[in-house]
Amino acid sequence: MKPDGVRRGLVGQVIARVETKGYSIEALRMLNADRALLERHYAEHIGKAFYEPLVEFMMSGPIVAIIASGNRVIEGFRSLAGVTDPTLAAPGTIRGDLARDQGTKVVQNIVHGSDSPESAAREIEIFFPK
């Protein structure tokens, strides 16, 4: 959950949607992400125009990292989250119901979801170090 979702008090609602979908919450951690952590997380975007505004946004308040499990959880969560642009996200999705275009430099769209098992493993290591 990104800072906008935490700031708006939507953590419980997002978790409820994940659990209602039938996935299990295996781990949950609230933290203030620092630049070093975000540089690791967004490494593939370094140098892109949206990189600095994105890092600034992600450092603007606490985030909630979650490990969810279940059959086809990655594609299921991405469907549950909705498309990146909250204006275009379908009603019934997290972004379609809970987010809107704030007119900011980066899209504030409540949640992030890993896009592959490899990304999930990398992101879990970043947000849940051993």
Residue range 72-123, pLDDT digits in tens? 999 999 999 999 999 999 999 999 999 999 898 999 999 999 999 999 999 9
∠ Cα 21 92 73 (to 5°): 30
Beta-bridge partner residues of 2: none
- 11 pLDDT higher than 90: yes
Of 112, 122, 124, 126, catalytic: 112
What domains can you pick out in the chain, each with its CATH number? 3-127 (3.30.70.141)
Euclidean distance between the first and final Cα of the chain, in Å?
21
Mean pLDDT for the stretch of residues 12-41: 98
* Residue type, position 76, single letter: G
- State the pTM of this model: 0.93
Res. 130 pLDDT band, cuts 50 70 90: confident
Q: Is 41 a catalytic residue?
A: no
Q: What is the pLDDT of residues 27-66, one digit of tens each?
A: 999 999 999 999 999 999 999 999 999 999 999 999 999 9
